[in-house]
């Protein structure tokens, strides 16, 4: 004969399971990299067993994973999730109905619904999954799950580093362009006196003739040694002469 305390305890447990049981999930979106595995959290509170219940994961009207009558029933599963979803039976005994999604793809990003139901009770929650690809970015404030924050500082540092490298590359390219532009330059020989009593710097193109273009400088403004040699862009010389 069953004692009265045992009966009362059973009735109390039944009352709690019907009125206080809830389906719970993460407060923030889950974040995963393409090619990696991710767990979409879902469970019962308090942690009563869900082994005899029906657990369904879906996206909109499409089935992602179905656990029913003590086993997986994925005949109607969305084809793109075939062989990539797992529910642990041991975890279900603890009231944990989290879905493991393997080899994450960009197309997996979106909202997932976790629905748990029995003959007398049902509940559901929505879990958001964000997927980062090879060239993707992570928005500030996103987290990788329940209470685990993403390293926002690392993301910011990476972004600044990329900007810095872009500036450095731009400067290098500019310097290369200047170097190329200086090809075919002029050599300044010793100053000669012109009729206007000015120092006349004769600029000869390398490989050219003695009758080159000349640039005039006032006597008092510039004293050029006889062995002075410097180079100017031919384009700049032509513009100043013309």
How far, CA to CA in Å, does 122 sit from each of 16, 56, 98?
14, 11, 16
Kindly state the tokens that stand for 43.
């469970």
Total Cβ atoms within 10 A of residue 232: 15
Q: Are 55 and 92 a contacting pair, CB within 8 Å? A: yes
Which residues have a Cβ under 8 Å from the Cβ of 219 and sit 6 or more positions away?
197, 198, 199
| Nearest CA-CA partner of 37 in 139, 105, 133 | 105
Q: Are 150 and 31 a contacting pair, CB within 8 Å? A: yes
| pLDDT for the residue 171 | 52
Segment 166-223, tens digit of pLDDT = 455 565 556 555 444 444 444 444 455 545 444 444 444 444 444 544 444 444 444 5
Question: Does pTM surpass 0.85?
Answer: no
CA terminus-to-terminus distance, the chain: 119
| Nearest CA-CA partner of 92 in 69, 110, 111 | 69
Mean pLDDT by 10 residues, the chain (242 residues): 41 52 95 97 95 97 97 96 96 97 97 96 97 62 38 34 51 53 46 48 46 46 53 43 42
* CATH class of the 4-150 domain in this structure: mainly beta
Kindly state the tokens that stand for 182.
């200086």
All structural domains of the chain with their residue ranges: 4-150, 151-179, 186-241
| pLDDT for the residue 58 | 98
């Amino acid at each position: 004969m069953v004692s009265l305390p045992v009966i009362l305890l059973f009735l109390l447990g039944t009352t709690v399971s019907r009125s206080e049981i809830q389906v719970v999930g993460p407060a923030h979106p889950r974040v995963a990299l393409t090619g990696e595995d991710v767990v979409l959290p879902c469970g019962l509170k308090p942690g009563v067993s869900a082994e005899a219940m029906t657990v369904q994961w879906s996206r909109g009207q499409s089935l992602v994973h179905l656990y029913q009558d003590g086993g997986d029933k994925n005949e109607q599963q969305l084809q793109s999730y075939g062989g990539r979803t797992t529910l642990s039976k041991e975890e279900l005994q603890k009231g944990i109905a989290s879905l493991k999604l393997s080899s994450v793809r960009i197309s997996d990003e979106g909202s997932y619904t976790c629905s748990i139901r029995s003959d007398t009770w049902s509940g559901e929650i929505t879990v958001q999954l964000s997927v980062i690809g090879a060239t993707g970015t992570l928005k500030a404030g996103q987290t990788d799950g329940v209470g685990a924050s993403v390293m926002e500082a690392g993301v910011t540092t990476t972004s600044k580093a990329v900007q810095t490298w872009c500036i450095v590359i731009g400067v290098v390219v500019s310097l290369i362009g200047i170097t190329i532009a200086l090809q075919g330059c002029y050599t300044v020989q010793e100053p000669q006196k012109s009729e206007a009593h000015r120092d006349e710097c004769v600029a000869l193109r390398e490989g050219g003739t003695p009758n080159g273009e000349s640039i005039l400088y006032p006597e008092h403004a510039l004293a050029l040694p006889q062995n002075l040699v410097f180079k100017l862009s031919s384009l700049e010389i032509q513009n100043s002469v013309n």
